[in-house]
Every structure is written in structure tokens, then in C-alpha cells.
Amino acid sequence: MSSLFVPRMAGLLYLVIILCGMSAELFLRGPLIHPDDAAATLAAVLAAPGALRGAILLDAVMIAADVAVAVLLFRLLRTVNETTALMAMAFRLLQAATIAAGLLALVAVDIVALRQGTATPEQVQSLMLLHGIGYDVGLIFFAVNTGLVTWLFARSGLLPRGLLWLLGIAAAVYLAGSVTRIAAPELNAAIQAAYTLPLIAETWLALTLIFGRRMRAAAG
């Protein structure tokens, strides 16, 4: 097996995570949710069952890819500091497990709203909210993972300095966004625009893992 297999596979799977996660949120699940109108949310779910189920499937693919990336990054970075790499993997796996648990809230919407037809607007709205908050709880663990991985990459010399700084900022954005969503919802809207930075950081990381010259040099 080529020594480039691990970083390249991690990078490709990172792109799968980004594409599935963004598609599920922006194009499928997001348009169904009307935060101030439970009846409109239920009507949107009933009018587009494929969107809800597609979001569930894409999130499931994203979670599976996240588990694989956790293991691959551990393999890539364990020579830097095995204990820290193991901790980073554990926090990423904890994130995946938390998001997977929250995904069951969308499955419940599918059951009570689409299959049984017994859901009230308030039930559907609550389940959608539960899923969203569960996602943000998972991102707290991911923020810790991102901080640890950034430190490991800084020690490894495999990433450019600009990307390291951006990954550190991404960890802070994830943590601030999740904490405000849970503890200070009135402040959360002010942080939403900052999520562009983690998207840029993780896309840059994925492409660097696949094509980066330092990765090739290290493999050589």
C-alpha cells in the first residue's frame, strides 16, 4: 500500500463529509424548517418527503465518512504524539456518535409525520429542534478534535502555516457557535456568518491531504 494512501483517502473522505453535510443542510433539511411557524414546518415535511429522507441518508454517509477520517488521521498523526492523536480520534468519534444519535430525531419525524400521519406541528418542530441542537452538541467535541489535530499537524510540518491558523480559528468558531446555540440562543445568529471560515479551512485541508507537496515529500 502506498504511503500516500492514508492522507489521500482522508482528504477524499473529507470532501465527502463536506459535500454530504452541506447538501443535507442547505438543500434538503434547511428549507423544511420554519423556526417561528410549526405548522409551516410540518407542511413542508409533508410536501417534500424525499427531502427529509435524503437528508437522513446524506447525514448517514457523512457520519460513516467521519468515522473513517478519524481512524485515518490517527494513523497519519500518531507518530507525532500517539496519546494526543488517540484523544483526537476519540473526540471525533464522539462527535460522530452524538450526531448519529441526533439523526434519530429526523427518523422519528419520518415515522410520525410521513408513515403514520399522526404528528402534530409542535411535535415535528420539537424533533427538528432536537436534531439541530444534537448536531451542535456534537460540534463541541469536533471543536476539541480540530484543536488537537491542528496542534498535531503543526508539530508534523505537513501543513502550511496559513492553514494551521485557519484550522485554529475554525475550532473556535465551532465551539462558540455550539455554546451560544445551547446557552445563549439570542447570540447565535451573530456567529452564523463565521461558519464560512471552517468551510474554507476544511476544504483547504482536504485538498492539501490529497495534493499537498509536503504530503508527497513526507511519503517520499
- pLDDT mean over 209-216: 83
Query: Predicted confidence band at 157 (pLDDT cuts at 50, 70, 90)?
Result: very high
Cα(108)–Cα(127) distance, rounded to whole angstroms?
7
Nearest to 70 by CA among 52, 44, 97: 97
Q: Convert the pLDDT of each residue in 159-195 to its tens digit.
A: 999 999 999 999 999 999 999 999 999 999 999 999 9
pLDDT of residue 214 exceeding 80: no
Judged against a pLDDT cut of 60, whether residue 31 lies above it is answered with yes
Q: Would you say residue 215 has pLDDT above 80?
A: no
pLDDT at 65 over 70: yes
Give the model's pLDDT for residue 136: 97
SS3 80: coil
CB 198 within 8 A of CB 174: yes
- Report which residue type is found at 47: A
pLDDT in the model for residue 2: 60
In the block, which residue shows the cell 477524499?
A: 12
Q: What is the pLDDT of residues 139-154, one digit of tens each?
A: 999 999 999 999 999 9
Q: Measured between alpha carbons, how far is 200 from 163 in angstroms, rounded to an integer?
A: 9
Confidence class of residue 212 from pLDDT cuts 50, 70 and 90? confident
CA 28 to chain centre: 16
Positive or negative: CA dihedral 204, 210, 216, 219: positive
- pLDDT band at 213, cuts 50/70/90? confident
pLDDT at 218: 66
Residue in this structure with the C-alpha cell 468519534, named with its chain if needed: 93
Q: Give the HSE-up count for residue 134: Cα atoms under 13 Å, Cβ half-sphere.
A: 19
Residue 220: pLDDT above 70? no
Cβ 109 vs Cβ 128: under 8 Å: yes
Measure the CA–CA gap between 131 and 134, rounded to whole angstroms.
Answer: 5
Instruction: Render pLDDT for 119-128 as a digit per residue (tens, 0 to 9).
Output: 999 999 999 9
Is there a contact between 164 and 80 (Cβ–Cβ < 8 Å)?
Answer: no
Q: How many distinct structural domains can be found in the chain?
A: 1
Domain that holds residue 91: 5-219
Question: What does each C-alpha distance from 45 to 21, 96, 202 come to in angstroms?
Answer: 19, 25, 31
Terminal alpha carbon distance of the chain: 13
List CB contacts of 16: < 8 A, sequence separation 6 or more.
Answer: 61, 62, 65
Quick one: which of 74, 78, 76 has its CA closest to 93?
74
Query: Quick one: average pLDDT of 54-72?
Result: 98
- 88-132 pLDDT, tens digit per residue, is 999 999 999 999 999 999 999 999 999 999 999 999 999 999 999
